Structure 1
Amino acid sequence: MADDVADDGVRDEGTETAALRAVVAAEHAAVWGYGTVGAALPEDARGPAAAADTAHRDVRDRLVALLAERGADPVPREPGYALPFPVLSAVDAATLAVVLEEGVSAAWVRLLDQSVQPPVRELAVAELGAAEVRAVGWRSAAGRTPVTDPLPGLPG
């Protein structure tokens, strides 16, 4: 039996806390990645990248505070993250932003699955939706179709 699952298979706060830590890790990566996204965009097109960066920083900070309330350490930031491909154009930047949003969506879905407290579940639903809204804009900017994902955060 896993340490964080009760004998009856019901998830507990340990499972939820582990999933919260995974979301923090995904949010750290998104914040780092949006620096690259913004740098690859023309100056007059950086608004959505700056807004996404701020959104990810804000939610990451909320999660860190929530973990601190639980007496749990957040996942620390890495000094850098490997990019999945070279970012050499605005289209590459938009594609990277899609990858970042899909990454946080997967972490939010896991938290949604593992959450036991209603406020945590509500946060996961809200942030999953926000990530998909941002991803729609970036998919459009990258020329990807369809621009929406009917089941964001789940394997395609």
Structure 2
Amino acid sequence: MKTTPSPANRALEAAQSALAAEHAAAYGYGVVGARASAARSAEARDAYGGHLSRRDALARTVREMGGAPRPAEAAYALPFQVGGPADAERLAAEIEDRVAGAYSDLVRAAEGRLRREAADALSAAAVRAARWRGVGVAFPGLTERGERARTS
């Protein structure tokens, strides 16, 4: 018989996944910052700082929920080779899409204050993705719905 995880366990797992996404985002923005154009380097630094802040807040949240925050990996595989400013912008948008997806899951799993914080983080990631990409998506954080909307 398959058991369904409790709401608290779902929220903790979603918080751990969002924390992992923030770890990966911090790593990715190191690459973005190194390859971004001079005109966008301040934007990359601001995004990097924002992800570090959210990462630290999520680590505290996971501890408050009784969990042990998952540590960052030593390195992360990038979805493509980043050779210049255009690739850096594309990577930044991809990072934000992935972060938005993780926070979307946390919004669905959490309640109260954590849900509001996750919704704020989802919104911030969607705005950053739109700025990097130059256009927003129909359903930020819900890739499968966003893809369907773009192809219909």
TM > 0.5 = yes
Partner of 1:65: 60
Tell me which stretches of 4 or more aligned residues in structure 1 moved more than 4 Å.
none
Shift of 1:71: 2.0
Aligned positions, number: 143
Of 58, 78, 88, the match for 2:83: 88
TM-score (norm. length: structure 1)? 0.88
Q: 2: CA distance between counterparts of 1:88 and 1:123? A: 34
Tell me which protein shows more helix as a share of its residues: 2
Q: 2: CA distance between counterparts of 1:107 and 1:87? A: 23
TM-score (norm. length: structure 2)? 0.90
2:134 maps to 1:133: no
Partner of 1:32: 27
Q: 2: CA distance between counterparts of 1:72 and 1:128? A: 22
Of 137, 141, 146, the match for 1:153: 141
2:46 maps to 1:51: yes
- Which 5+ residue runs of structure 2 have no aligned equivalent? 148-152
Q: 1: CA distance between counterparts of 2:120 and 2:3? A: 29
Q: 1: CA distance between counterparts of 2:5 and 2:123? A: 27
RMSD: 1.1
Shift of 1:3: 4.9
